[in-house]
Chains A and B, each alone.
Chain A
Amino acid sequence: MIKLFAAIKKEAHILLRDRVGLAVLFLMPMVLIFVMTLIQDSAFKSLNERGIPIIFVDEDKDSLGVSIEQGLRNSGMCAFNSTIEGKPATAEMIEKAVSDGKFLVGIVVPKGATEAIRNNVKILVQQTLGESDSPQKQTDSVEISIYIDPITKKSFLTSVTSSLREFISEIKTKIMFQTFSDQISQLMPNKSNAPKNAFSQSQIIKYKEIYASKQINEIVPNAVQHNVPAWAIFAMFFIVLPLAGSMVKEKSEGSVLRLQTIPTSYLIFLNGKIIVYILVCLIQLILMLSVGKVFLPMLGLPTLVIGNSVLGIILLSVSTAFAATGYGVMMGTIAKTEQQGAIMGSLSVLLLSAIGGVWVPTYVMPELMRNISVVSPLNWALNGFYELFLRGGGVADVAADSLKLICFYVFTMAVSLIVNRYKRKI
């Protein structure tokens, strides 16, 4: 115990005196969270189809125009605009505004659109009821112009056009009902028994969006909910740099050589390092979560929601810390020089983080990459945090991911001990 305590104390002293190392450990991930969250905030809004700027021109000034405007305003799928730089938008201004990148989509409902629908429906109804002997000419079909910025995602465009179709269809049905009601009431002698247009009072099918979360409150995936755990995990794994570096330095400076002549197990010495770096990882995580809880909202970003399971967070955090530390020890054992340790460590963590969904969430990755992502321990940790933070999971829900991370730690330690034994046989 004395030996372990001395090893911990030595490691803590060395770490605390390495200011550059501390900056890498604590400041770098905090800065990354700030920068990446701010950068990805708009992308996540786009993912959620919120906040995409749309410019709308209603030249119709009738039911269709009003209906589309209300529909777009209430859908929450976009940031609705009807003015450009404070001036009411016109059909002429809209194409330039979209091509300048001020708006991703521009919609123009032409003058007389509702009237054209009304006229066409009326003719159809009359023909259906056999009131008209001679075929009347229908008005040309209504043309709603949609201006699209080429960077607009196909999925968003599809949902905009679907919504427009829905609004037009609703208006057509409404007019059809109205026209039918009017025509039938003209045919009925007793006007008091005439049918009333009940369409506006009915809504046959309603949609309710429910996020499949175990929490009462709905947590929508956003830049904060993704970036804070993702970069916290990245930071935890990035301890590979100082940890592997310190191990290689000890080898090159001869401290390890001296330790090999001392009647103390190499594991005790190693455990001193592991305990200190696990504590570092946990402090990093607490700091990163604080950033999400306190500092990001100050920048107008959403507040991080961490779910309800403190035990789940502790279990997953400790497992991740073990996995990250084990990885650092393995790199430090394999590397022969500090440069080798730094390059191997940083590149491998960057690669594992990219595969694991830290940079870009796995759910927007192609299927092949999603399948590959399951090999990354950063992915297991991130999935666990999604489970806790987004789906409101508990200990049982993160047990499998935690077990995988602990198994990874055992694997890395086994590799380290085997490699170390092999290297000593010279």
Chain B
Amino acid sequence: MSDKPIIQVESLAKTFKGADKPAVDGVSLSIHKNEIFGLLGPNGAGKTTTISILCGLFSASNGTVMIDGKNLESNIDSIKQIIGVVPQDIALYPMLSARENLSFYGAMYGLSGKSLKDKIDLWLNNFGLTQSANKRLSTYSGGMKRRVNLIAGILHDPKILFMDEPTVGVDVQSRNVIIEHLKELNKAGTTIIYTSHHMEEAEHFCSRVAIIDYGKVIVEGSPKELISANTGCRNLEDVFLQLTKLTLRD
């Protein structure tokens, strides 16, 4: 892990039009190269908003974001070249096959010809989708769609990968395949920032996590550090519940 943060977030805030409370309220984070950083929090805590700002989808109301040493706001186009995004929704065309979807998104990243085809073949094979590569996505199971959704975000070998709940709603088998390949990507040098509600998964997958609630970072550290720092907690889920309480969220 490098000492220099690849992502530096300072006092990030976002209040949506017409909202009376900020969705993100003064979040500061330092994410280092090659980290697997987990943003955890209950529903509506501000995880997706934070990740969306970091991807350039929304502009922040306040604060600064530096990615790979560049200011996000003034270098959005060059930063988009080095990031990959795996949205929470299956952001793919159901009428197209997996191969057609990936060819399209690959081309949008400027990939073409044999190199694009080879990458598609490699990832389809890695994720066990070669057999069904030419079938329409609408015929896929939820887990298969999730895997294609992930491939579309990593096809261009991004330096930084943002993932918003990439394993939500998938079976154990699909989740394992996804997590294993993400670990390999990370070993190959990709910094991963991801959100999840799955505490056990985050505990084993992330090198560091930040728990967000009501738009603020309430704690940050490695899963082990957080477990040992909170008395009576045996795992990350205990820490999470202790810090965010049992109150139901909207």
Contact = CB atoms under 8 A, between A and B. Distances in A.
Given A258-B105, A261-B80, A264-B108, A426 B58 contact: yes
Interface stretch (B95-103, B182-190, B219-227): B95-103
A101 to B, nearest CB: 52
Given A3-B107, A426-B17, A261 B93 contact: no
Nearest to A1: B112
Contacts of A2: 107, 110, 112
Interface residues of A, number: 26
Contacts of B89: 253-254, 257
Of B56, B87, B103, B108, the most chain A CB neighbours within 10 A belong to: B108
Contacts of B110: 2-3, 263
B96 A257 contact: no
A163 B60 CA distance: 81
A269 B107 CA distance: 11
Given A6-B108, A264-B108, A426-B58, A253 B90 contact: yes
B40 interface: no
Interface in A9-67: 9-10, 13-14, 17-18
Interface residues of B, number: 34
Given A14-B95, A253-B91, A261 B104 contact: no
B66 interface: no
A6 B93 CA distance: 14
Contacts of B58: 426
A253 B56 CA distance: 19
B239 interface: no
Nearest to B103: A6
19 contacts: A3-B108, A6-B107, A7-B104, A9-B104, A14-B96, A18-B95, A250-B93, A253-B90, A257-B57, A258-B87, A258-B152, A259-B108, A260-B56, A261-B56, A261-B57, A263-B78, A264-B108, A269-B108, A426-B16
Sort A-B residue pairs by CB-CB distance and give the 10 closest, nearest first.
A6-B107, A254-B91, A254-B89, A258-B91, A263-B80, A261-B85, A10-B104, A2-B112, A264-B108, A262-B108
Given A6-B108, A258-B105, 7 more contacts: A5-B107, A7-B108, A254-B89, A254-B90, A257-B87, A257-B89, A259-B108
